[in-house]
Amino acid sequence: MLEELSLRDLGPIRSAVITPACGMTAITGETGAGKSMLLSALSLISGGPANAKRISVGASEAWAQGIFAVDGTDDETHAADAADETVGDDADDDEALAGGVLAIARRAGVEPEDGELFLARTVRATGRSRAVLGGKTVPRSVLAAVAGELVTIHGQAEQLRIASAARQRDFLDHAADDGRELAAYHAAWRELADMDARLERLRSQESSARAQADYLRESVDRINAVDPHPGELEELKAKRDRIENAADIAEGVSHALAALDPSQLELADSPAEAAGASDRILEAAQALRAIHVSDGGFDELADRLESVNADLADIVFTLSGHLGEDVGEADLDTLNARIHDLDELTRRWGPGIEDVIAWRDKAAFDIEDLDASPEKLAELEAERDRLHETAAKAAARLHEARAAAAGRLAARVTEELSSLAMDGASLEIRVAPREGADALDANGGDDIAFLFTPYEGSPQLPMGKSASGGELSRLMLALELSAADMHAGEAAVGEHGAAPSDMTFIFDEVDAGVGGKAAVELGRRLARLARSSQVIVVTHLAQVASWADSQFVVTKEPPDADDDDLGVVTTVAEVKDAARVHEVARMLSGSESEASLDHARELLASSRLPLAGAVGETD
């Protein structure tokens, strides 16, 4: 509910503060006084386009702010209702059903203070406008989203939004009170949409999976054809090295043995020639032991020589083993071919043979998983069919609720139109179920159209294309009032006629082309709507203004002598008691004669709904 509207330097209004009633508030004044600036202020804080041309003469910027009461129960109330109606719905479903003005604000990092939200907008003569929510600068779209949950403007351009199919669907769902069916469908649709997305990903991956499986099979077959063994490559390379260097090995071993122990070569002709390093070391050791001196350490030196000789004997034994090794018998070409095959494997799947073998073993398991994907895809497609059937059934239940509500709503609206100076006008609401594989979308399976006939014999046309501004405003009043009637009894009516709805309805041009008894009926119906929601109406008719709980007058004032450059200045003030009688008298006859004052008092006294009446009372 709008508690206060403030504006500064907007058109001819230098400064104004309006505190509308919680029920019905009338904005009156002479033509051209600047009443439209109040609507401009509401449009600005609702995220509407900024027009620098509307800044007051001599001012650098215009500013508007709305203070709305949000008691924090909207989300909880909707959540409780949804919990009572739909078993298994989670908090996200409740929030989506609630619309969630608080949820939108909190996502923007804003918490209400003392149950109030501040929506403000600054329009500069040069530069961009600035949107502020709860003291925090936010994108204009956030301000629009919050205001969309709090304010509905029915006037010229704004009310044409109802011409969109989405707005008509939302309005019908609101009137139908089909929250349970809608929540059930949304839950089923989300599951179906998630499955469709999963299948799409799998199908797009299927061809690449087949290619990957083919690559793995070819790779495994190639590795198996070579049949590598751990450590094989190093062994083969060492063997090749010995073959390629066999002559050098034989020559080196022979020379070493000749120096250490020539007897191993069987080349010496005499024992003296056959003596090698081993024999000479042993001879030296014996010579040292022949020295019989107790403290010379010669025995110790002899022990060390004998130890060296033992090591030389071991070396000689090892070298002599190489003399009999036939490394030249292997086929070097075959060996090189095998090494080449193993090198190819390590280059592709290495770096080592052990890594190649490990890759092959893992690839075998991966092939099994990839080969199983067609079966998994078939399983998911069967699950998708089941989810689609569930969603289709939920859509059918939602369609039944919408179709039933559409008939009731259209009948109520048509009945109301006859009391709003629109005899012969009628509304039809079509709820047509779509057919085919793509029948369902995020909002159900229905095409919804509001078709309006402005007068008897007129062709039936979509809303927004078949009515003038005043007719469309009265049609919207009939729609809002009929929706409120359909919700009658859901909440207790307050002492001053305001039920606990957070919505504020703004009506402009609703009285265009209306007079006499029809004007009285128009005012009566606005007052009835004000029992379920806050209503602010800009009107020229005393018969409409007289039904308001409060009335503000927009008046043109001549400029001060010192401020002649600023032009005409407009003031906004609330009128009460005698001042209101005088304003209503002016609206009735253009004068404030005693007769017109008496008529105004009589009109104000008669423009009252019974206090005990309900929202849906009949007249």
For residue 240, how many other CB atoms are within 10 A of its CB?
A: 17
Higher local confidence (pLDDT), 407 or 90:
407
Are 163 and 135 spatial neighbours (Cβ–Cβ below 8 Å)? no
Whether residue 445 is contained in a domain is answered as no
User: What is the number of domains present in the chain?
Assistant: 1
Whether residue 3 is contained in a domain is answered as no
Which token pair is 286? 């014996």
Buried b (16+ CB within 10 A) or exposed e, 314-340: eebeebbebeeeebeeeeeeebeebbe
3-state secondary structure of 533: coil
Are 33 and 570 spatial neighbours (Cβ–Cβ below 8 Å)? yes
pLDDT tens, 445-472? 999 999 999 888 888 888 767 666 677 8
- Determine what percent of the chain is predicted with pLDDT higher than 70: 82
Q: Which domain holds residue 339?
A: 232-369
Q: What single DSSP character describes residue 22?
A: S
**pTM recorded for the entire structure:** 0.64
Which ranges in 86-231 belong to alpha helices (H)?
A: 91-98, 101-107, 140-148, 156-159, 165-176, 179-226
Q: Is 430 left (phi over 0), alpha (psi -120 to 50) or beta?
A: beta
Calpha distance 228→359 (Å, rounded): 12
Whether residue 255 is contained in a domain is answered as yes
Q: Give, rounded to a whole angstrom, the gap between the first and last alpha carbons of the chain.
A: 27
Averaged pLDDT for residues 91-106:
60
Longest dimension (CA), the chain: 164
pLDDT exceeds cutoff 90 at 274: no
Calpha distance 479→114 (Å, rounded): 33
Which ranges in 487-533 belong to alpha helices (H)?
A: 516-529
Are 80 and 112 spatial neighbours (Cβ–Cβ below 8 Å)? no
CA angle (540 as vertex; 537, 546 as ends), nearest 5: 65
Whether residue 557 is contained in a domain is answered as no
Calpha distance 7→44 (Å, rounded): 10
Averaged pLDDT for residues 67-77:
64
Whether residue 548 is contained in a domain is answered as no
Whether residue 47 is contained in a domain is answered as no
3-state secondary structure of 491: coil
Which token pair is 593? 């004669």
pLDDT of residue 317: 80
Q: What is the residue-averaged pLDDT of the chain? A: 81
pLDDT exceeds cutoff 80 at 181: yes
Calpha distance 35→16 (Å, rounded): 12
Are 472 and 425 spatial neighbours (Cβ–Cβ below 8 Å)? no
Which token pair is 322? 């190489």
Whether residue 361 is contained in a domain is answered as yes
pLDDT tens, 335-370? 888 888 888 888 888 888 899 999 998 888 888 767
Whether residue 281 is contained in a domain is answered as yes
pLDDT tens, 532-586? 889 999 999 999 999 999 999 999 877 665 555 556 688 899 999 999 999 999 9
pLDDT of residue 157: 56
pLDDT exceeds cutoff 50 at 83: no
Q: Tokens 């949000």 appear where?
A: 70
pLDDT exceeds cutoff 60 at 329: no
Are 514 and 191 spatial neighbours (Cβ–Cβ below 8 Å)? no
Which token pair is 68? 């709305």
Residues 6+ apart with CB under 8 A from 496: 21, 22, 23, 549
pLDDT of residue 489: 43
Backbone dihedral angles phi then psi of residue 259, each to the nearest 5 degrees: -80, -35
Tell which residue, 263, 261, 262, 309, has the closest CA to residue 285: 309
Are 258 and 276 spatial neighbours (Cβ–Cβ below 8 Å)? yes
Averaged pLDDT for residues 31-37:
80
* Lowest-pLDDT range of 43-52, 108-117, 467-476, 586-595: 467-476
